[in-house]
Chain A
């Protein structure tokens, strides 16, 4: 089945995925409406800054087995097998942060969930936009990513594409066809890397 797949080399750090995710998890589902809501909806995908000041869209991998499920004290985290999604039941969550200890990716946050019980701080993370998927929509983060750093596809399709890319790069005559996908962006990253490595200066 289709999954959200991250291609970090394409992330330009624009954070549109975060905005779209928060809006998709608001009550009004529009940007302007969401900004009026209390509590303010919050994103479940987090664009962090990497070593060379580049962006990285960090979201729940819906691991199997999931360390957070095993760590959860009240058993509030569970797997929806049909959607291959790890979900948190905000009614059972006791905000103990055992899942923060367990998640090696640091994708869980703790706040009031716009769609959960009022006034209760709970663990919140990506839910694979199961509600949107039920309506035939793609996850919100994927919908707005214009560089295709986030795609929604069968893992096999994505892997095949990657394999083909690598094969092309090393096949006969590859040098002649050396069209770089995004020379400007590669150059920008090279310069940013030089800038941060120069004189041991890092973010």
Chain B
């Protein structure tokens, strides 16, 4: 019976756990997708609109049924409005994540956040300086206060331009200014998108798409970037670290605690609590060898990057991890947490705890975290997890694989450090062609695509062709599970990449972090562009989201393209209902913003598209290039 699961996922632990889930009659996301099929074509095309009560409306793609909504909106407008709202939702999620971190920073400055501290004061000074905060003679907490104030301003109406926009090359800024899309305020752009997409406001599909770019940029160079920078400030800037990954990181003889969700505000506190000597002793008294913390999805990525905490899996593995029967507690905060999880946990002894006032779930116990109570609550919850150890049912425990090694922690600072302090060695390698270019492989999983097949196949083809891959989010977990993140993996790379990475002792695929950490790729790209005196869109770079599902991914794709980087999507966005929007996104945007989107479900073909693009950019820079 497990044979058919080879068709659902390329991962061994996934296949084995799917078989166990079937045997134990536990429903998974794959089952629910089957039950949903066929999914409504109007919605797949972006041609349905529920924005007002004169509707709901849909446009017949065959031209015979209704062609306009009741208000008169045609296919172009409806598609553009829907797409705009996806960007708004994604941008809002990232930006709210950033906001929560800024609030913690402010609380730390006021001494109201026990357990939190400024781990990287040097970085804080650098960032504060960008915001015009004079750091001379001020103590850490005072700088923190001023920086937090300045960052909170970023969310509002007063500013004409977000601060981090100054990091981009002048040419890029000029393009944005000419188009009128320089992001002004993080919440402002999202709020304006909701306004524009209300019935009877913005009814020009190009105008809507332009604001979509602006909204996404307010995420990429706004909310997400604040999230990453403040996380580095509070929890430490990542540097290379080794750890382990896949379901085998769970230990049968330990208390297993998993953190899932996004914000390190919660997971860092849990991590601290699991190191508490008293609690470790309590675990031993209960018969366990210790407390084992593991991560899922982005918050797992954050802990892996900074502390080398092992990771149990990505998006489609979140239900299956519970099915191992070896997890005492899962703590979640927000984003990408399936409401199905609580139901799966009910079949086992696993306690499910929701921690965010913004995110409650069925069958989960709600224990709210705030900066003031975080440290204490974390300890309380870890204690409860330890006490849950004895409720484990040994006969139902099945940890299917041995964990494999992975290297993580490649923040921009760490990459530059590995290169010797400047990006020059990397630029040199690109110039000579030893490294043809770089690609960010990012994004989620989606049961419509064979799990991890998209990420791993694309990454393999790219590194085989001397293209450096940096990855984030669920894609990073997929690549790590495929064994790409160890120095020995250079054997899988082409000769040039092998030489460069081999010399530096780094893998050919670099983990740069969680999904908000996609901004690290932007920062690196901007740094390279500035060093070379060109625009980001001139660089031999590309982005890819082979298995994306979320609205956050839409925002990321748009801000990456808006920043000048060609991006290939594996799953189809709901824009095919308007060929105008499709043509703009895949062709026209090049003239407008210097980059486009492409849709290609087959990662083999996507690899060729990307390679061709990179060689074209190389030629544009006068670098040696080849025909693909």
Contacts and interface: CB of A to CB of B under 8 A. Distances in A.
A–B touching in complex (CB under 8 Å): yes
B200 interface: no
B61 interface: yes
Interface residues of A, number: 34
B601 A187 contact: no
Q: Max chain B CB contacts within 10 Å: which of A181, A183, A184?
A: A184
A30 B599 CA distance: 42
Interface stretch (A8-16, A68-76, A108-116): A8-16
Interface in A1-24: 10-15
A147 B65 contact: yes
Contacts of B63: 181-182
A167 interface: no
Contacts of A201: 7-8, 449-450, 453
B576 interface: yes
A147 B579 contact: no
Given A14-B42, A148-B64, A203 B576 contact: no
B39 interface: yes
B572 A188 contact: yes
A12 B602 contact: no
Contact of A184 (B58, B65, B579): B579
A116 B476 CA distance: 58
Nearest to A197: B602
Contact of A146 (B38, B60, B449, B579): B60
Contact of B39 (A11, A53, A195, A199): A53
Contacts of A182: 61-63
B34 interface: yes
Nearest to A202: B7
Contact of B62 (A14, A50, A185): A185
Interface in B317-362: none
Given A147-B61, A147-B64, A188 B571 contact: no
Interface string B447-479: 011100100000000000000000000000000
B571 A50 contact: no
A198 B61 CA distance: 26
Contacts of A185: 41, 45, 61-62, 576
Nearest to B63: A181
A200 B45 CA distance: 25
A200 B450 CA distance: 9
Contact of B38 (A50, A181, A187): A50
Nearest to A200: B7
A182 to B, nearest CB: 4
Interface string B1-13: 0000001100000
A88 interface: no
Interface string B22-64: 0000000000001001111110110000000000001011111
Q: Max chain A CB contacts within 10 Å: which of B62, B66, B449, B599?
A: B62
Given A146-B65, A184-B45, A195 B571 contact: yes
Nearest to B10: A199
Interface class of chain B by DSSP: loop
A148 B62 contact: yes
Contacts of B64: 147-148
Contacts of A50: 38
A49 interface: yes
B618 to A, nearest CB: 28
Contacts of B601: 191, 194-195, 198
A183 B38 CA distance: 20
Q: Max chain A CB contacts within 10 Å: which of B40, B41, B58, B579?
A: B41
B62 A49 contact: no
Contacts of B577: 184
Interface in B566-602: 571-572, 576-579, 582, 599, 601-602
Contacts of B448: 53, 195
A199 B40 contact: no
Nearest to A198: B602
A60 interface: no
A200 B8 CA distance: 10
A144 to B, nearest CB: 10
Q: Max chain A CB contacts within 10 Å: which of B39, B58, B571?
A: B39
Contacts of B450: 198-199, 201
A49 B39 CA distance: 9
Contacts of B578: 184
B53 to A, nearest CB: 16
A127 interface: no
Given A148-B62, A181-B63, A201-B449, A14 B44 contact: no
Interface string A103-125: 00000000000000000000000
A47 B582 contact: no
A41 interface: no
A139 interface: no
A12 B7 contact: no
B603 to A, nearest CB: 8
Nearest to B43: A14
Given A184-B45, A188-B576, A203-B34, 10 more contacts: A12-B41, A13-B39, A13-B40, A14-B41, A48-B38, A147-B60, A148-B64, A182-B62, A185-B576, A201-B8
20 contacts: A12-B41, A49-B37, A49-B38, A53-B37, A53-B448, A56-B38, A147-B65, A184-B582, A185-B61, A185-B62, A187-B576, A188-B572, A191-B572, A194-B601, A195-B448, A195-B571, A195-B572, A198-B602, A199-B7, A201-B453
